[in-house]
Amino acid sequence: MQLHLSSLPGGRLGPEAFAFVDWLAEAGQAWWQLLPLGPPDEHGSPYKSVSAFAAWRGWLAEPDAPVCEEEIAAFRARQGFWLDEWGRFAGARAVADQVRFDREWGALRRHARERGVWLLGDVPIYVAPGSCDHLAHPELFRPGAVAGAPPDDFNPEGQHWGNPLYDWPALRRRRYRWWVERLRRTFELFDAVRIDHFRGFVAYWAVPEEAASAREGSWKRGPGRAVFDAVRAQMGELAVVAEDLGAITKPVTRLRRELGFPGMVVLQFAFDPDDPRGPHRLENHERHSVAYTGTHDTDTLRGWWEGARQEQRAGAAAALRAAGLEGDEPWWSLLRLAHTSPADLAMVQAQDVLGLGSHARMNRPGTEGGNWGWRLEPGALTAERAARLRDSTQTAGRVST
């Protein structure tokens, strides 16, 4: 199930995070997917964090818990690549806060493993402008251009993200060590990771720094598999989910398959009448993939249904009839349909289990205000909800008991 720490009733680690793991186990769910854990930006986005390595102090259940010098020394010995840079950037107590986070997160992860629940993290491909990483390693980023996306039917001017772009030749000369250490730290915290904007490793859209519009950008060649080969040489095989949504070319799909990474399919994209052969249509799902009801960037299932065009609803209704899943709550029927996907893993959003509408949406891409703030109401995830989700999961053959 997808649920960020910020969406727990208290928005942090501690008893409520442990209780959510217990609820997942009761509901027959094996994976908890979270968003990036770094300090969010001023709009609450975890995708423009000031650190690619450090966790946010705001997650701590006990932010004033004592930390001894021996703990700090041991942590620094393990995390020396990035920790001192973060301490200089974030201030005097920043290092101790990372020790506190490791302590609390480690306890949660052990509890999850005991309950048969695995943790899936999220790695944004880019770092934030002016972040600790950007300032500490200017030699790894190319001047004069920033990240973005080209124009499309939804964004005629393209998307001007503004993130610094990697100087891939400079990273190659250093054997991609920054990326090796970044993923090493990520896999210390999670059992598997989703890599955002995977297509950027094949080709990325570079926008001139002073450009008024992303329309002025151009495609540049990425490093391909070299980054992942360097990481594998240090760490072995990688449990990675490649975010391959949007305009994906054959070279992107080829690289993903060569690396053995599952891609993503999203049920909300399955009923586009203009894309009858699209990868998101249930009949086109690959087994080696992850099927989502929606993502943090889409509406909830109920919100999607209530706002869908007539032809989209008709396509969804036909798919539900064919699967024998019609019901009074179409959004719940769609969740059950996602469970029938041949994909190895089906991932649902907590909002969809609760049948919530668009007010519970996590993010609206392209807007800066009003995002990332949704939280569970205390007690919303009841035993009845767990039993209902477990029944759907078990009926689809996705849980053994």
Catalytic machinery residues = 196, 243, 297
> Residue 264 in 3-state DSSP?
strand
Closest of 35, 17, 15 to residue 371, by C-alpha:
35
Amino acid found at 76 = R
Helix axes 226-235, 177-189, angle to 10 degrees: 60
Closest of 212, 12, 195 to residue 100, by C-alpha:
12
Which uninterrupted H or E stretch holds 84?
Answer: helix 83-90
Phi-psi region of 175 (alpha: psi -120 to 50; beta: other; left: phi over 0): left
Residue pair 282/321 in contact (Cβ under 8 Å)? The answer is: no
Q: Which residues sit opposite 192 in a β-bridge?
A: 120
CA-to-CA distance for 106 and 112, rounded, in angstroms? 10
CA-to-CA distance for 97 and 13, rounded, in angstroms? 13
**Bridging pattern class, strands 141-149 and 159-166:** antiparallel
> Residue 86 in 3-state DSSP?
helix
- Any idea what DSSP says for residue 39? P
Q: Which tokens go with 166?
A: 């990697």
